[in-house]
Chain A
Amino acid sequence: AQSVTQLDSQVPVFEEAPVELRCNYSSSVSVYLFWYVQYPNQGLQLLLKYLSGSTLVKGINGFEAEFNKSQTSFHLRKPSVHISDTAEYFCAAQPPGNTPLVFGKGTRLSVIA
């Protein structure tokens, strides 16, 4: 069965510092990979997605992620965070076809001034 693991439940980081949020997936088949962000009291918003092609994917708000098939990872990075990046971040996987997303448990990013 498909599973997604987010290794850190909480990540505190100072403003303007770089950040990496880790995500690993397990699947015996190819998958599509996603990162969603949930700001306080709001719905989920797509940050970026990997379907195929280039393994480095750029998303909104300066975030990027790299698909690593050998390590089954899809870590999210930003070189310099802002206070406004404080939110919950969810990694998700979807096997090709008409299937729902499988989510990790989320990582709470707290940016400290």
Chain B
Amino acid sequence: GAGVSQSPSNKVTEKGKDVELRCDPISGHTALYWYRQRLGQGLEFLIYFQGNSAPDKSGLPSDRFSAERTGESVSTLTIQRTQQEDSAVYLCASSLLAGGTEQFFGPGTRLTVL
């Protein structure tokens, strides 16, 4: 009965390094979302997976960002050649069905790029 989990909870990296963030959705949830929360800002949509459909990547800010999801399980968000403006809290959410049902959020990964 666990909720959405994310790891690591905190990540400090140097500019130019690659980072990988992990999200474990609630079992059985078909939809998985990645959002970014920069200081003083709302949540920005990054990418969305729905079942076996092609992911909606329209929110990814650059080609340095990519994400994968295997079936309806774990997802990883990868940021290559990190920049200081990538510093943010990265939040993952999952839902049973898209369109009006509750999205359950994980605690987030706080990424700091030095």
Closest to A98 in B: B98
Across the interface, do B99 and A90 meet the contact criterion of CB distance under 8 Å?
A: no
Across the interface, do A98 and B31 meet the contact criterion of CB distance under 8 Å?
A: yes
> A74 → chain B, closest Cβ, in Å?
14
Contact of A87 with B by CB under 8 A: no
Q: Which of A41, A96, A100, A104 has the largest count of B CB atoms less than 10 A from its CB?
A: A100
A4 proximity list for chain B (CB < 8 A)? 42
Across the interface, do B91 and A96 meet the contact criterion of CB distance under 8 Å?
A: no
Contact of A94 with B by CB under 8 A: yes
Q: Please count the residue pairs between chain A and chain B whose beta carbons lie under 8 angstroms apart in the complex.
A: 64
How many B residues, CB 8 Å from partner? Answer: 27
Across the interface, do A99 and B98 meet the contact criterion of CB distance under 8 Å?
A: yes
Contact of B102 with A by CB under 8 A: yes
Across the interface, do A100 and B56 meet the contact criterion of CB distance under 8 Å?
A: yes
Across the interface, do B106 and A94 meet the contact criterion of CB distance under 8 Å?
A: no
Q: If A32-B100, A43-B91 touch, does A100 touch B59 (CB 8 Å cutoff)?
A: yes
Which residues of B from 35 to 59 have beta carbons under 8 Å from A? 35, 40-45, 48, 50, 53, 56, 59
Residues of A near any B CB (own CB < 8 A): 4, 6, 32, 36, 41-46, 49, 51, 90, 92, 94, 96-106
